[in-house]
Structure 1
Amino acid sequence: MNILITGGAGFIGSALARALNRLGDTVTVLDNLSPQIHGTNPDDSPLFKSLPESVRLIKGDVRRREDWLAALEGQEAVIHLAAETGTGQSMYQIDHYVETNVRGTSLMLDLLAEARDAGHGTVRRVVVASSRSIYGEGKYRGHAGYVYPGARKASDMRLGLYDCLCPETGERLELVPTDETSKTHPSSVYGITKLFQEQLVLTVCETLDIGAIALRFQNVYGPGQSLRNPYTGILSIFSTLLLQGKDVNIFEDGLESRDFVYIDDIVESIVLALDATNKAGVAYNVGSGKATSVLQVAQTLKRFYGATGALNITGNFRLGDIRHNYADLKKIRKELDFEPKVSFAEGAMHFCKWVEEQTISDAGYDQSVAEMRSRGLLN
């Protein structure tokens, strides 16, 4: 197929481009080569340089109509990955996140509708990258049934009370895997924009007779993840600090957990969604199906690198952060035959070996923390 990958020079996009190239697809990439990800000289970016020579690269912006027109011409499928990411940064770059993530998506859909109306639409498949962030806090069980907690109170967390409690009884809730029928109530601007992206694509594509699937990615990691971006990817952030001999300050009590899913499993899920032409207008969770604490991540990296920096449990917390979330994978297993193949232990080993081959420099993490604190988002 002729396939367009937006954000195709990024972490997920470049890995996907390589995979689709091996499968014989003709790949076009639309990417703005953001300095936050690629550095000031994107020609030297490992992600950029990893794109196969046969991939057509359009340096452009999803907010620009002319860039979309150039990229969409002759395409049969669109993998829409382009987005601003990072929950913390989204809370003070609100308009930028909305303009890129929401308007960038609505502009694509406008052009797909115009092409259909003019009788020359070629796109028949769209896969959009959604996010676990649309759920806000994950799914829990209380004595009376399932509970979907709202945002935790700053006053509680200042007292070291980080766990989600039942709003009616005050009991500590039992974490269970979050399935696709769970309540969507994002707790960050980033999460809100990802929910909008998903809803826009699934709703509009149905009216255009374009088969669309939304994939709700959990926390993606692996070789190729940007070591320059201080706003996303705790494995990259922690690795950069540890390999510079610095301490790692861990928020809350370190027991907050996420579902970490390896990049190869993410690529596999996208290929499966692309090929599942009998499925449309549907969303799937994509993860490992297991919860791993932030402290466990830091300990794993420190042990592998033999780093001397301390792991400090600070009790600090960010407004908009969730306590826990991990994916229920029953639906994607049954309908797309997806099965995550890489455990966290194996994936972290591959990631760390790759990191040790890279040039490590200051990624601006301290500055990002200072920005959040100055805006009252970090306590």
Structure 2
Amino acid sequence: MSGRKILVTGGAGFIGSALVLALSERGHEVTVLDNLAPQIHGADPEQSPLFKRLEGKARFVRGDVTVRTDLMKVLPGVDTVVHLAAETGTGQSMYAIQHYSEVNVGGTALLLDVIANDGFPVKRLVVASSRAVYGEGCYRCAVHGTLHPEARSAEEMVKGQFEHLCPVCSLPLEVVPTDEGAALHPSSVYGVTKLTQEQLVLTVGRALGISALAFRYQNVYGPGQSLSNPYTGILSIFSTRIRNGSPINIFEDGRESRDFVFIGDVVDATVKGIEHPEPLVDVFNVGSGAATDVMTIAQTLLRHLGGCSSISVSGQFRIGDIRHNVANLEKVKRTLGFEPKVGIDDGLSAFVNWVKGEQISGDRYEESLNELRAKGLFK
């Protein structure tokens, strides 16, 4: 399918720019609205690789989703809106509370308000949600069955109790894939804002008769992600520290795990949603369907990148972090025909090959931890 007129908010970011390139190659006419935030694009954002890769691929408008006049510039003629613009990162969200709410919730509300009230003939909405909406996700007790535990307490984690125990019998819980029908109880401000975003989009889409899809992305990684932003994810953080010869501090006990999904697979799933021929109002997990623990990630990156960085397990932790999560992908496979193609080994190899060709970035990781520590959010 080709020929859609698509607005991508946040289209100069890591996921957004990769998506824009794919949409352009498939014959869609793309407009990008992005504020080129320095945390993502650096001090000279118009020279950032993410921004420059859009040249000749899309109409670019520098602006903000929280500004009505900026939205009025980019919505005329658009039939599909892909809303990726958001502040990301669990840790930072726990103290930049008003800012995250204004951008993620306020920007989404304003976008929908303009569409609802100003006569723009949008036919499909797609919003980037997050695995963070689940909080801890889905677990199973051998005795008491499926459970959705609440956020872990700081008191227990200080004692080194990082894994979830059954609240009834205190047996260890087994993590199982989380499907879209699981309980939603985000444990971070970021997760709360992503849940509100998807609920706004689905509710307004349903009310206006507009197709609306929310993609709950897992931990997205791959070539193109920021290596200087300390809130962008552990692969970038660890890679930058290894290349700078800095030690790697593994939080908790190193066995916490995530569903790491390659950027190419995320783009593939999102394109399938954009081009799906039938009207839909629904939510979908997008991940690899496999869990990888943090220690494995650190050791693999160190092996591929070399260097002299030491790896230590500190037992420290951040308030708002989850223990485990892995996505159940049955629904997105059944409805959209999406299946991930890139496993963690091939994905990490592609990521590392790209990292080796990038300039070594300044490391602001300790600075970010000091900010959390000062707020009582890092123990």
Does TM, normalized by the shorter one, top 0.5?
yes
Moved more, 359-368 or 175-184: 359-368
1:11 aligned onto 2:14? yes
**Alpha-carbon offset, residue 307 of structure 1:** 2.0
1:218 aligned onto 2:221? no
Code of the aligned partner of 2:125: V
1:364 aligned onto 2:364? yes
Code of the aligned partner of 1:333: K
Code of the aligned partner of 2:295: L
Code of the aligned partner of 1:181: G
1:42 aligned onto 2:45? yes
1:124 aligned onto 2:146? no
Q: Which runs of 4+ in 1 moved over 2 A?
A: none
Mapping 1:217-296, distance limit 5 Å: 217-296=217-296
Aligned equivalents of 1:65, 1:360: Cα separation in 2: 38
Aligned equivalents of 2:77, 2:183: Cα separation in 1: 38
What percent identity do the matched residue pairs reach? 55
**Alpha-carbon offset, residue 370 of structure 1:** 0.5
The answer on whether the counterparts of 1:38 and 1:228 sit within 8 Å (CA) in structure 2 is no
**Alpha-carbon offset, residue 279 of structure 1:** 4.2
The answer on whether the counterparts of 2:10 and 2:32 sit within 8 Å (CA) in structure 1 is yes
Distance 1:321 1:186, change over 3 A: same
Code of the aligned partner of 2:293: S
Scaled by the length of structure 2, the TM-score of the pair is 0.98
**Alpha-carbon offset, residue 115 of structure 1:** 2.8
Match of residue 152 from structure 1: 152
**Alpha-carbon offset, residue 85 of structure 1:** 0.2
**Residue deviations 1:175-221 (CA, integer Å, cap 9, x gap):** 10000000000000000000000000000011111101000000000
Aligned equivalents of 2:47, 2:299: Cα separation in 1: 31
SS in 1 for 2:237: helix
**Residue deviations 1:24-81 (CA, integer Å, cap 9, x gap):** 1111000000000000101221101111414111100110000111111110101100
Moved more, 179-188 or 357-366: 357-366
**Alpha-carbon offset, residue 173 of structure 1:** 0.6
Distance 1:287 1:260, change over 3 A: same
Gaps in structure 2 of 5+ consecutive residues = none
The answer on whether the counterparts of 2:32 and 2:60 sit within 8 Å (CA) in structure 1 is yes
Match of residue 195 from structure 1: 195
SS in 2 for 1:21: helix
1:337 aligned onto 2:348? no
Aligned equivalents of 1:146, 1:314: Cα separation in 2: 31
Aligned equivalents of 1:150, 1:171: Cα separation in 2: 16
The answer on whether the counterparts of 1:211 and 1:277 sit within 8 Å (CA) in structure 2 is no
SS in 1 for 2:140: strand
Match of residue 353 from structure 2: 353
**Alpha-carbon offset, residue 363 of structure 1:** 3.3
Number of aligned residue pairs: give it.
375
* CA RMSD across the alignment: 0.8
Decide which of 104, 107, 112 is 1:109's aligned counterpart.
112
1:373 aligned onto 2:373? yes
**Alpha-carbon offset, residue 160 of structure 1:** 1.1
SS in 1 for 2:118: helix
Decide which of 46, 65, 69 is 1:66's aligned counterpart.
69
**Alpha-carbon offset, residue 138 of structure 1:** 1.5
